[in-house]
Structure 1
Amino acid sequence: YTYVKEDLSLGEKLHIGQKAMLLIPDLLLLLMVGIVFEKMIADYYGNILYQGKELVLGSVKPRTYKAMDKIMEEMK
């Protein structure tokens, strides 16, 4: 009985791993878009808009990192 239960948790772990693997390309894409966007803002609109974006991203980034930490924890 316990053997079946352990087998299930392994299955769950694999499932979480697959979910994380599906998320990674999305995160990379977001990162690339972010870098391009950052360069555009810096090049064309100067510091004022750039700083405004930093304020907005400043509130978004910690949440993104928390989500990443959660995924990493679940994968362990």
Structure 2
Amino acid sequence: MNIPHDKLLHTLGGTLTFAMIHPLGLPWALGAVMAAGVGKEIYDACTGGDVDPYDVLATWMGGAPGWWCQA
């Protein structure tokens, strides 16, 4: 399986965002991960970068393990 380096970085970003914000509460952490994913793609759109909806999904999936561990 070959996962693009860019997607791995987005996943790591989602994981780290969740970990940093989680002490404030689960809703804040999930919201921060969602905002980070969408925000990065808005930044890419405004600066001429490559906009890819799968990057948003990769970021969100980075925060998913933390959410799953809350159950």
Give me the TM-score of the superposition, normalised by structure 1: 0.38
- Of structures 1 and 2, the one scoring higher in RCO (CA 8 A, sep 6+) is 1
Give me the TM-score of the superposition, normalised by structure 2: 0.39
Give the structure with higher Rg (CA).
1
